[in-house]
A and B are shown apart, each in its own frame.
Chain A
Amino acid sequence: MTDPATDRHDARQRALTITRVFEAPRALVYQMWTEPHHMKRWWGPRGYTTLSAQVDMRLGGFWRVHSRKYDGTEVAEQGVFRQIVEAERLVFTHAWEEDDGSPGHETLVTVTFASDGDKTIMVFHQAEFLTIETRDGHLQGWGESFDMLKEYLGNA
């Protein structure tokens, strides 16, 4: 149930924002991200099988999801939690593992949860910021430079 009006591909900030409305209570939608047995049921998109999910649900805690693709290759994603506000907000790093198990390019994911009657509005945001510490600096510095680049590239 994608809502195109609220889905946004924010090229200017080089970030991805996806808004979804689920017909489920906020606490349950939050648990989708924090309980491994729930994560395993949705994390692998079609064509993927989730082999394992581990979540150390605390500040600085490690998470990892290991999946198998339809072609048999196995991939894993991992990160650490940067902010945890029960049923409201989760901030964590995300990286695909390299072949040697080390994390690759790190991004920052922020997921917020808000109640709307019986429904839950979930806003997912993923950005390329290497660390949360540099996030604010990035946001301030990004716009102007990319406005000029966009003009140069000739597309919005």
Chain B
Amino acid sequence: MQADPLTMTFAALADPTRRAILARLATGEATVTELAEPFEISGPAISRHLKVLAHAGLISRGRDAQWRPCRLEVDRLQGVDQWLQHYRQLWDGRFDQMDDYLRALQKGRTNDGPGN
């Protein structure tokens, strides 16, 4: 089963090395070698992290076969903000209902009775 984009985004973000890579890319494009420099991990390990980030749509790789520089893809990160906005509206609506219900409950006049 293909995970939804948001799950893949969050899974990709759930790793300090990958977040550091994104932070580095926020300052501009970089090659795999440049990205690997600050980390004490192997080239293949960096490549695996980049693969996860690319799969989640958080970065893209250039077409130049020699360098294939990585760059940050901003759209997917903005999807994270939309996710938060969606939940804010949902819970705000629920808590409005909770407020109404609590008032009614304490006045002892719920329209369709408890235990419904």
Using CB atoms and an 8 Å cutoff, list the residues of chain A in contact with chain B: 1-2, 9, 11, 14-16, 18, 20, 22-24, 28-29, 32, 37-38, 40-46, 98, 104-105, 122, 124, 126, 128-130, 134, 137-138, 141-142, 144-146, 148-149, 151-153
CB distance from A1 to the nearest CB of B (A): 6
**B80 nearest CB across to chain A (Å):** 6
Q: What are 25 residue pairs bridging A and B, where the CB atoms are less than 8 Å apart in the complex?
A: A1-B99, A2-B95, A9-B85, A14-B80, A16-B84, A18-B88, A22-B99, A28-B105, A29-B98, A37-B116, A41-B116, A42-B95, A42-B101, A44-B94, A45-B90, A46-B93, A104-B4, A105-B7, A126-B91, A128-B83, A129-B14, A130-B11, A148-B23, A149-B72, A152-B74
B10 with A41: CB separation less than 8 A: no
B22 CB–A CB distance under 8 Å = yes
Q: Which residues of B contact A137 (CB under 8 A)?
A: 16
By beta carbon, the residue of chain B nearest A22 is B102
Expressed in whole angstroms, the minimum distance between the Cβ of A116 and any Cβ of chain B is: 15
Q: Which residue of B26, B85, B103, B106 has the most chain A CB atoms within 10 A of its CB atom?
A: B26
> What is B's interface to A at a CB cutoff of 8 Å?
1, 4, 6-7, 10-11, 13-14, 16, 19-20, 22-23, 26-27, 72, 74, 77-78, 80-81, 83-85, 87-88, 90-103, 105-106, 110, 114-116
Whether the Cβ atoms of B88 and A9 lie closer than 8 Å is yes
> How many angstroms between the C-alpha atoms of A1 and B13 in the bound complex?
34
Contact B10 A29 (CB under 8 A): no
Q: Which residues of A contact B84 (CB under 8 A)?
A: 9, 11, 14-16
- Closest A residue to B95 by CB, please name it: A20
Set A122, A124, A138: member contacting B14, Cβ < 8 A: A138
Q: Using Cβ atoms and an 8 Å threshold, which residues of chain A touch B91?
A: 16, 18, 124, 126
Q: Which residues of A contact B87 (CB under 8 A)?
A: 16, 126
Q: In the complex, given contacts A24-B106, A43-B94, A144-B23, what are 4 additional A-B residue pairs having Cβ atoms less than 8 angstroms apart?
A: A16-B87, A32-B102, A41-B116, A130-B10
Given contacts A138-B14, A145-B19, A153-B74, is CB(A29)–CB(B88) below 8 Å?
no
Q: Which of A9, A41, A98, A153 has the most B CB atoms < 10 Å from its CB?
A: A41
